[in-house]
A and B are shown apart, each in its own frame.
Chain A
Amino acid sequence: MLGTQNNTVVDASASNDDAAAASNSVVLFGKYEILKLLGVGASGKVYHARRVDTGESVAIKAVSKRHLDGRDGYAYAAQIEREISIMRRMRHPHTVRLFEVLATKAKIYYVMEYAAGGELLRRVSADGRMTENLARRYFQQLISAVAYCHSHGVFHRDLKLENLLVDENMDLKVTDFGLSAGRSQVGSDGLLHTVCGTPAYVAPEILAKKGYRGVSVDIWSCGVILFTLVAGYLPFNDYNITLLYRKIYRGQFRYPKWVSSEFKHLVSRLLDRDPETRITIDEIMKDPWFCRGGYKYPTRVMPELDEDHVVVKDLNAFDLISFSSGFDISGLMTHSEYLNCVERFVSKEKPERILERVKGMVGKVERVVVRKDENAIIGVKLEGLDGNFVIAVRIYRLMSELVVIEVKRKEKKVGGGNFWRTLLRPLLLELALLHESAPK
């Protein structure tokens, strides 16, 4: 249960280093002060901790490395590395972010975003359920996180209520990528082949052991989650696991009396036994129950540009020199799936005029939005709504009547550069002073 941050009470007198770590005095690697044990899962313990230097709250999951010595040690090691690289890539307002990993000979520590509101389960009322309206809000956030992960080729495969946390604003945070599989694990038939998940949330095609698609099993689990939030009980439940699996396989469940017919319709499409005809993410987003009251898909799914927050207006000679890529040590670092670039143009146009031209052009393009740029006096941020890119266009005065247009881009290596290449760059070239020696 990677990342579970629940409030399970444990025996704090257990004589191991984790229990000692739960006392106030322990500081991990001189960096994180352990505050309290949040929960215990199958693979490790989760603590609430605080960064010593910044005071920032984090959740730290400590996992034993003893499985590495076992028979499947090699596969387990590969799984750990894969899991870290997946979690590193996942940055979405409704998924728990991984900040750092630490390790000793005996343990691995995952330093993650802290979800101050705890488990979503604690948000249900005394009778164990939620109104449809409240459940809709969390379901919308869940679907946006799942859609994001799927579009990055990452399937959760163990979605369940215990993995849904909320932050201090009561917004959803999906955690536990412990069983996530990237596309690399897809077999030659395009199907996933590892049996995993938690019994009550497992899709029927997994039980059939014929291989399955990560997309459809996640959608099934979302259906179980939605049903449970509103009904107050699991759609499929039995103490006897054989009987439980039989119920799932047959798709046997009963709706409570109080649910709306739109709700029933959506759930029946989510818990469709046939993965081929089960509702898709796109269809969910158009479903009448899902859309009621309106839903704004969160667009801030891009990682921020890597930069500190120093706002500059005029450039001096040293600013110009620091443009050199020979001085740009960040070139030493490999960046995940995103490409980071900076390009600059010198122009005689007025800053306001340049911004006008950029905004005017973006206004004619679909799925690209203009945002305020907090790090610039004169500038805008452009974001692709598909999460493909973020571009900051900033204008600095070099001298009277001469400005530098700086363009910082972070874009997906695949398919992230089209807007820049075909629209924005040609526009800026038009505004720029041309290099005398540049070829025509």
Chain B
Amino acid sequence: MSCFCLRKGKPAKTNHDQFIMLASETSFTVNEVEALLDLYKKLSSAVIDDGLIHKEELQFALLRNSSKQNLFVDRVFDMFDIKRNGVIEFTEFVRSLSIFHPNASPEKKIEFAFRLFDIRQSGYIGHNELKEMVLATLTESDVTVPDDAVESIVEKTIREADSNGDGKIDGKEWKEYVGKNPSLLKMMTLPYLKDITLAFPSFVLRTQVEHC
């Protein structure tokens, strides 16, 4: 059976149907989805004006430049590009951002963060992966930490999280570790998303919502 759509085999006919569907699946209201469309349009026309977010555009938005290779931008892009077709479509954008909503469930945030950090997509985070990410961050942000210090921080973190003692962190251990260190989910929440209707208010004029 062909599957163009995500709800009961009935194709989404208009943008508005699609917005209602997105709102029902996420923490956003239809109005917020409409406002997010303006943000999406802005981001998706920054480098290549084709109405889709390319990796360069995500990189430009996050780092203010579109050329430098960045491990983390690559990871974020792959996570947002759910269909893995090389672009972030609007529905993918809304679904992924909804995980960052202050009201989204912690379980979803924990799961998303784990996949983000699992850079080799092996189902676990090992010593080498963790060290690679720490070094990449330090290089990127121009923060100086002596090499032996990096090694011991990575070692200590693995030791704390690795409850079954196999030398790496799996999904279950990650969940327990986050439970003990809630600050790790900080980056998974964007308080600003609450403010999205004020940041992009022009939807109030063209909204298709019939009833509140």
Contact = CB atoms under 8 A, between A and B. Distances in A.
Interface stretch (A4-12, A258-266, A268-276, A331-339): A331-339
B142 interface: yes
Contacts, number: 196
Contact of A324 (B31, B140, B149, B198): B140
Interface in B130-175: 130-131, 133-134, 136-138, 140-146, 149, 152-154, 156-158, 160
Contacts of B6: none
Contacts of A346: 143-145
Contact of B157 (A317, A329, A434): A317
Interface string B181-202: 1111011011111110111011
Interface residues of B, number: 72
B89 to A, nearest CB: 15
A317 B62 contact: no
A103 B141 contact: no
A400 to B, nearest CB: 10
Nearest to A318: B184
Contacts of A328: 62, 187
A57 B181 CA distance: 32
A109 B212 contact: yes
A308 B186 contact: yes
A105 B210 CA distance: 6
Nearest to A432: B144
B102 to A, nearest CB: 8
A108 B204 contact: yes
A298 to B, nearest CB: 23
Contacts of A134: none
Contacts of A135: none
Contacts of A438: 142
A430 interface: no
A101 B201 contact: yes
B205 A98 contact: no
B76 interface: yes
B103 interface: yes
A321 B137 contact: yes
Interface residues of A, number: 65
Nearest to B178: A318
B134 A332 contact: no
Nearest to B35: A101
Contacts of B105: none
B182 A310 contact: yes
B183 to A, nearest CB: 4
A433 interface: yes
A326 B70 contact: yes
A411 B90 CA distance: 31
Given A108-B204, A317-B134, A326-B76, A102 B29 contact: yes
A322 B184 contact: yes
Interface stretch (A23-31, A123-131, A153-161): A23-31
A264 to B, nearest CB: 43
Contact of A306 (B144, B191, B199): B191
B207 A323 contact: no
Nearest to A436: B144
B61 interface: yes
Interface stretch (A77-85, A136-144, A163-171, A359-367): A77-85
Given A77-B205, A323-B143, A332-B43, 8 more contacts: A29-B212, A81-B202, A85-B198, A316-B184, A324-B140, A332-B61, A404-B143, A432-B144
11 contacts: A100-B195, A104-B211, A315-B153, A317-B157, A321-B133, A323-B143, A326-B75, A329-B100, A331-B62, A332-B39, A435-B142
